[in-house]
């Protein structure tokens, strides 16, 4: 038996924190780490944001939870605000990203079912995708390492190379219900598809009566400098999922849909116990209060550029370590010449946190309200971390395996 009472599913670093302040995490002994991982894009407004703390404590003093048997005013309000600022007409609240995806997949299948096309349940997804860890979302993601040992893969997902429009057209059959994609692939290494590919997908969907689902669990709620990443592409989906950033650290997700796409989701066909409860709604509304303030998203874009330019200079200086800088807004990736664990380690020595991803990428996802000073401080620390790797050839060599 291992020493811990917890499932051994996480390869945890030997590091824990007691407190957070803005873009900083603080250990029990007072050591301060610059948090450019932000709970993997979850702490969208950093740690201990006064408006979020006030919203949560105020609601905690009034009412924590009622079931969805009743009207929940905070839910109607957050739903209406998401609708006002997106393509959507309808919203279903969940507790997590994977649950939002489950709702999206069910919504797409029900749409065709109520149209009298029961056999139309297949969903086209992309290689490198990540949509969560439930049985359906590991089938959607299609990654062997997440599917292995969990019995038969949930039926109905067809996987296509990311960016290959011809392969998508070939894969569409009369049984195709939807195409599901991340507007920028997060877990597989900040992979940005050409806008032309995304527009091509929309055209194919329109031509074949297929629904387009965007998984914006990582990219949504301001991360890329727009409220939703699809706003960069010039097309809108029929269904979208959000989670991570919308709760600012409180577990919260949502499935958004047009009225037409949501028409099969009638009373009783789907549900949730916790989804959209008053505590979550108070925090979600408070997050939107800040992110929708005039000029906030422009600032995210400006800060993203500032960080990206600084990273590009580091990449130029150390081509033996850094292959490329990727991403948009504050969803950035340092693509290394070797697995990102080596850079993660030297960055940790410099007391700055990033989040590893696929394709040799270390993600930087600072809070959206990170200050210019903290960006500058972060760049100096990353510079030292990369420099340490550049002057330690043994380390880069050993990281290659």
Ligand X SMILES: *Cc1c(COP(=O)(O)O)cnc(C)c1O
Q: Determine the Cα–Cα distance for residues 399 and 296; give it in Å rounded to an integer.
A: 39
Q: Determine the Cα–Cα distance for residues 125 and 140; give it in Å rounded to an integer.
A: 6
Residue closer to ligand X by CB (options 133, 302) is 133
Sheet with 90-94, edge to edge strand ranges: 90-94, 253-257, 239-242, 211-215, 176-181, 122-126, 157-160
Q: Residues binding ligand X: what is the number (CB under 6 A)?
A: 15
Residue closer to ligand X by CB (options 176, 218) is 218
Q: Which of 130, 162, 214, 228 is catalytic?
A: 130
Q: Least distance from C-beta 96 to ligand X, angstroms?
A: 4
Q: Least distance from C-beta 225 to ligand X, angstroms?
A: 17
Q: Nearest-CB residue to ligand X?
A: 97
Residue closer to ligand X by CB (options 182, 374) is 182
Residue closer to ligand X by CB (options 355, 379) is 355
DSSP strand pairing (122-126 vs 176-181): parallel
Q: Which of 90, 106, 226, 244 is catalytic?
A: 244
Q: Is 400 a catalytic residue?
A: no
- Interface pick for ligand X out of 93, 142, 177, 182 (rule CB under 6 A): 182
Residue 55 near residue 282 (C-beta atoms within 8 A): yes
The radius of gyration of the chain from alpha carbons, rounded to an integer in Å, stands at 21
Q: Determine the Cα–Cα distance for residues 286 and 290; give it in Å rounded to an integer.
A: 7
- Interface pick for ligand X out of 87, 92, 121, 130 (rule CB under 6 A): 130
Q: Least distance from C-beta 338 to ligand X, angstroms?
A: 24
Q: Determine the Cα–Cα distance for residues 165 and 167; give it in Å rounded to an integer.
A: 5
User: Which two tokens mark 106?
Assistant: 């069910």
State the binding string over 235-274 for ligand X (x if CB under 6 A, else -): --------xx------------------------------
Please identify which residue in the block is written with the tokens 């971390």. 385
Q: Determine the Cα–Cα distance for residues 170 and 181; give it in Å rounded to an integer.
A: 17
HEC string of 193-258? CCHHHHHHHHHHHHHHCCEEEEECCCCCCCCCCCCCHHHHCCCCCCEEEECHHHHECECCEEEEEC
Q: Is 121 a catalytic residue?
A: no
Q: Is 244 a catalytic residue?
A: yes
Q: Does 93 bind ligand X (CB under 6 A)?
A: no
Q: Least distance from C-beta 211 to ligand X, angstroms?
A: 17
Residue closer to ligand X by CB (options 216, 374) is 216
Which residues contact ligand X by CB under 6 A?
96-98, 101, 130-132, 182, 186-187, 215, 217-218, 243-244
Catalytic residue annotation? 130, 215, 244
């Amino acid at each position: 038996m291992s020493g811990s009472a917890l499932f051994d599913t996480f390869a945890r670093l030997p590091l824990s924190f007691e407190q957070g302040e803005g873009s900083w995490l603080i250990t029990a002994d007072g050591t301060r780490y610059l948090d450019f991982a932000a709970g993997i894009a979850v702490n969208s407004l950093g740690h201990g944001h006064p408006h979020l703390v006030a919203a949560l404590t105020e609601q905690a003093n009034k009412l924590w939870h009622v079931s969805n048997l009743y009207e929940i005013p905070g839910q109607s309000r957050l739903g209406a605000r998401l609708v006002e600022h997106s393509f959507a007409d309808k919203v279903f609240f969940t507790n997590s990203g994977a649950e939002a995806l489950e709702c999206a997949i069910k919504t797409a299948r029900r749409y065709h079912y109520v149209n009298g096309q029961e056999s139309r349940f297949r969903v086209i997804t992309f290689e490198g995708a990540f949509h969560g860890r439930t049985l359906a979302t590991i089938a959607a993601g299609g990654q062997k390492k997440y599917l292995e040992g969990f019995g038969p893969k949930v039926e109905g997902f067809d996987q296509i190379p990311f960016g290959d429009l011809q392969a998508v057209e070939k894969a569409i059959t009369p049984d195709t219900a939807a195409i599901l994609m991340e507007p920028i692939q997060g877990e597989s290494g900040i992979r940005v598809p050409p806008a032309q590919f995304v527009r091509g997908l929309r055209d194919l969907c329109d031509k074949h009566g297929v629904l387009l689902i965007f998984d914006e669990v990582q990219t949504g709620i301001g991360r890329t400098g727009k409220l939703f990443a699809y706003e960069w592409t010039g097309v809108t989906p029929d269904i979208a999922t959000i989670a991570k950033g919308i709760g600012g650290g409180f577990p919260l997700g949502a499935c958004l849909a047009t009225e037409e796409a949501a028409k099969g989701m009638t009373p009783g066909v789907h549900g949730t116990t916790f989804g959209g409860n008053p505590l979550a709604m108070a925090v979600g509304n408070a997050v939107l209060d800040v992110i929708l303030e005039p000029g906030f998203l422009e600032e995210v874009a400006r800060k993203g550029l500032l960080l990206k330019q600084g990273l590009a200079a580091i990449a130029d200086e150390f081509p033996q370590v850094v292959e490329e800088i990727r991403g948009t807004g504050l969803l950035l990736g340092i693509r290394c010449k070797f697995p990102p664990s080596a850079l993660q380690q030297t960055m940790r020595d410099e007391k700055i946190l990033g989040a590893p991803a696929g394709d040799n990428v270390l993600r930087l996802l600072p809070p959206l309200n990170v200050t210019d000073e903290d960006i500058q401080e972060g760049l100096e620390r990353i510079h030292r971390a990369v420099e340490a790797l550049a002057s330690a050839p043994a380390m880069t060599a050993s990281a290659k395996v």
